[in-house]
Amino acid sequence: MKSITLLMISLLLSLLHANAQELSVEFGGGTGQAYVYEDADDGVDVSYAVPFSAYAAITYHKPEQYFGMSLRLQYMNAGIEGEDWQQGLSTMKGDVTAFSTFVLLEHLKTNNTWNFGYHFGMGYTTEQLRKNLALQEGITTSRYMSLMGAGVVSYELSPSVSFRLAPTLLWTDPVNSLRDSSLWQLAGDDLSWLVQIGVAYHFN
């Protein structure tokens, strides 16, 4: 999966080199709810704090094409408390940090003041779970494929600058999510939703 992501990144960079005028960069952040199903599961004593998210993206698009291609770096951090149902019900008071690299297809026009679109794609996530922040114990690192989809609302402040709002669904480790529930992991294989606000700069 990592090699596929690197190949897609290389393809995006080659496209950018071919025509740098069709380029935009975007930065932003937001919040939402992390690991929705596990957080709502009454069968386990685990709760997640409201997450913080941040992202940076670079997008290549030709006006005559329906989709542009975007490379996105996505960060999400959420506190976790409760009982570790995987390892002897030990008490946890820590956090989970997920850093992902996504390659996305994006459809978004910029010819009106208000524009609506969407993007979707796949990527590679590195997740660090720290079960005890005070003692820095119980640290585990996982790596897996992830999927992302989002709607996009864009307000064009000028021909070069726009503000963007993106309700986002992040599906981490979808492969393990579809396996038997006895194989599910703490954090990891779950859905998270985020509402992110960003600023994009267009190179015309």
Higher local confidence (pLDDT), 203 or 118: 118
Give the global pTM.
0.84
Q: What are phi and psi of 43, to 5 degrees?
A: -80, -10
CB of 37 closer than 8 Å to CB of 44: no
Tens of pLDDT, residue by residue over 139-150, are 889 899 999 999
CB of 131 closer than 8 Å to CB of 97: no
Return the SS3 of 45.
coil
Residue 177: alpha-carbon gap to chain centroid: 17
Tens of pLDDT, residue by residue over 36-60, are 887 677 677 788 999 999 999 999 9
Higher local confidence (pLDDT), 130 or 28: 28
Judge whether residue 188 has pLDDT over 60.
yes
Judge whether residue 19 has pLDDT over 70.
no
Domain harbouring 188, CATH code: 2.40.160.20
pLDDT at residue 171, as a whole number: 93
Q: Which residues pair with 28 in a beta bridge?
A: 55, 198
Q: Which residues pair with 104 in a beta bridge?
A: 70, 121
pLDDT at residue 47, as a whole number: 87
* Confidence bin at 203 (pLDDT 50/70/90): confident
Judge whether residue 67 has pLDDT over 80.
yes
**C-alpha pair distances (Å), 180 with each of 18, 39, 77, 176:** 46, 18, 27, 8
What is the C-alpha separation between 105 and 147, in angstroms, rounded?
12
pLDDT at residue 45, as a whole number: 78
- Please give the span between the terminal C-alpha atoms of the chain, in angstroms, as a whole number: 34
**C-alpha pair distances (Å), 84 with each of 13, 98, 138:** 42, 19, 10
pLDDT at residue 134, as a whole number: 74
Domain that holds residue 45: 2-203
CB of 9 closer than 8 Å to CB of 168: no
What is the C-alpha separation between 204 and 191, in angstroms, rounded?
36
What is the C-alpha separation between 154 and 110, in angstroms, rounded?
8
Q: How many domains are there within the chain?
A: 1
Judge whether residue 20 has pLDDT over 50.
no
CB of 98 closer than 8 Å to CB of 73: no
pLDDT at residue 184, as a whole number: 66
Tens of pLDDT, residue by residue over 155-171, are 999 989 999 999 999 99
* Confidence bin at 15 (pLDDT 50/70/90): low
